[in-house]
């Protein structure tokens, strides 16, 4: 999972004892060598699915980190792409990476909190990868309302979501162990570091998106196959703000 270029155990421990913002500032230079960066297979698959419902004009990558999802936006947006993240360190790495690979639509990097986005209704596509675990279930209504407010009428909010891990499997115990360790850490240490893998569930997400005013569609991502019950291992959620895109 971790490569020799990735963070040491000590660096990870220091990061995990910081706030979310400062923790990512510390991790930023080595973040792309951790399993926390969204894998290229997921990014490619989402880009392919979005191509089928695009093209789009102006895109926003919510919690962009070092810019993994910005490559998806560059593939499907014609006018402008923007990455927003709370960590200045992650944004600095993202900017450096992007300057090394010029081309594509104009790119902007903005420091901001996803719970209080510093934009008007300027986007017709918002994507997000690998960051929903940073929001407690009670924060989802506010988060989705923010995304709704920055979309133009007819705009889409799209993100991948994996099928829940099978109870008793290795993945199940790994996620359960991670979330339990986080709960203990947050009970005894300040500032909190919110990152819970098992809290972001499709049923809750659909309900809260609908409550925020979106209509919701699900697209299977075929590259990840199906489970033995026939359900997709990974889906793309597409939440559409009512109104017609001009």
Ligand X SMILES: C[S@@+](CC[C@H](N)C(=O)[O-])C[C@H]1O[C@@H](n2cnc3c(N)ncnc32)[C@H](O)[C@@H]1O
Residues that bind ligand X (CB under 6 A): 20, 24, 36-38, 63-65, 68-69, 85-87, 90, 113-115, 129-131, 134
Residue 145: partners with Cβ closer than 8 Å, 6 or more residues away: 212
Q: Which two tokens stand for residue 225?
A: 């196959």
Q: Which is nearer to ligand X, 5 or 215 (CB)?
A: 5
CA 200 and chain centroid, separation? 12
Q: Which is nearer to ligand X, 62 or 239 (CB)?
A: 62
Cis peptide before 154 (omega within 30 of 0): no
Is 127 or 209 the residue whose CB approaches ligand X more closely? 127
* Spatial CB neighbours of 194, under 8 Å, sequence gap ≥ 6: 20, 133, 134, 135, 136, 182, 186
Q: Judge contact between 83 and 109, C-beta under 8 A.
A: yes
Q: CB of 242: closest distance to ligand X in angstroms?
A: 26
CB of 31 to ligand X, least distance (A): 7
Q: Which is nearer to ligand X, 64 or 238 (CB)?
A: 64
CB of 24 to ligand X, least distance (A): 4
* Closest approach of ligand X to the CB of residue 164, in Å: 19
Given the complex with ligand X, which of 114 and 237 has the nearer CB atom?
A: 114
Of 105 and 142, the one with the shorter C-beta distance to ligand X is 142
Rounded Cα–Cα distance for residues 148 and 31 (Å): 29
Q: Shortest gap between Cβ of 89 and ligand X (angstroms)?
A: 8
Residue with tokens 């995990």: 16
| Comparison of 120 and 167: residue with beta carbon closer to ligand X | 120
Minimum distance, C-beta of residue 154 to ligand X, in the bound complex (Å): 24
Helix, strand, coil share of the chain (percent; to 5): 40, 20, 35
**From the CB of 114, what's the least distance to ligand X, in Å?**
4
22-56 burial, b at 16+ Cβ within 10 Å, e below that, comes to bbbbbbbbbbbebebbbeeebbebbbbbbeebbeb
């Amino acid at each position: 999972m971790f490569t020799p270029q990735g963070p040491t155990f000590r660096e990870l421990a220091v990061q995990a004892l910081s706030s979310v913002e400062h923790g990512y500032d510390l991790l930023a230079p080595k973040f792309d060598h951790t399993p926390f960066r969204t894998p290229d297979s997921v990014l490619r698959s989402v880009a392919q699915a979005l191509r089928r419902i695009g093209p789009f004009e102006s895109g926003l990558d919510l919690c962009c980190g070092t810019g993994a999802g910005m490559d998806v936006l560059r593939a499907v947006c014609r006018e402008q792409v923007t990455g927003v993240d709370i960590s200045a360190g992650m944004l600095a790495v993202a900017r450096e990476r992007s300057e090394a690979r010029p081309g594509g639509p104009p790119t902007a990097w903005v420091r901001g909190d996803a719970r209080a986005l510093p934009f008007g209704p300027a986007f017709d596509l918002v994507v997000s990868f690998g960051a929903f675990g940073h929001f407690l279930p009670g924060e989802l209504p506010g988060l989705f309302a923010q995304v709704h407010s920055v979309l133009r009428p007819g705009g889409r909010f799209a993100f991948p979501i994996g099928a829940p891990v099978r109870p008793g499997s290795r993945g199940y115990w790994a996620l359960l162990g991670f979330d339990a360790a986080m709960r203990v850490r947050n009970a005894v240490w300040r500032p909190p570091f919110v990152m819970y893998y098992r809290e972001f569930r499709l049923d809750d997400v659909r309900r809260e998106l609908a409550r925020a005013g979106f209509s919701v569609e699900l697209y299977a991502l075929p590259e990840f196959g199906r489970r033995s019950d026939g359900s997709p291992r990974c889906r793309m959620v597409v939440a559409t703000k009512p109104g017609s895109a001009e």
